[in-house]
Amino acid sequence: MSQDLQETTRVTRKSLKTLQHTASDRENLVGRPSKSLKHQLSQESPIDIEVKRKNLSTKETQANLDGKVTVEDLTNPEGASENYWQILAEKRQVALQDALEENEKLRKIIEDLKEENVLFKQMLDEANSFVEVIKEELANSSNNDTGIDVNDVSTADETTDEITENNTKTEKRN
């Protein structure tokens, strides 16, 4: 059974791609090129390519060749050297500067959000006053009843149907 399966797969298999491209294919030529590469490159016009460069910001730092903490600084029984404390102070200064910058950004964001919150509260108050005016107008209009119930749409549809039926009956009589 497995031999029959192998024989049928051998017979039915086809090549998935061409083994050799034709000579008219410009990307993958077969055989020797007709023109030299130097000749082709000299005939092509130069291409202007704009390269986008990233804006790099640099921080002023002091170049310190002794910027590494040594084993002697950490294991000295008399205490750490002056170099160790200087490196530690510089690292703390950088961390504090980063924290200060982040706090300034957050403070600005908070101020913007507070202003936006005040604006939204004003809009809410205006919308609430508009709703109150609409409610008063609806209450006043219910005293001057026009015969149309604003809250019940189904009765409004029924009354329009009755009016159209009455109009058709009167037209048939005439």
Distances (CA, A) of 163 to 156, 157, 167, 170: 11, 10, 6, 11
Average pLDDT, the chain: 74
Distance between CA atoms of residues 60 and 55, nearest Å: 16
The values of phi and psi at residue 143, to 5°, are -70, -40
Position with higher pLDDT, 91 vs 19: 91
Alpha carbons 166 and 174: distance in angstroms, whole number: 13
> In percent, how much of the chain has pLDDT > 90?
28
Residue ranges of domains in the chain: 81-142
pLDDT exceeds cutoff 60 at 29? no
Cα distance from N-terminal residue to C-terminal residue, the chain:
93
Cα gap 86→83, rounded to integer Å: 5
Res 168: pLDDT: 67
The dihedral of CA 117, 121, 124, 126: what is its sign? negative
pLDDT at site 136: 92
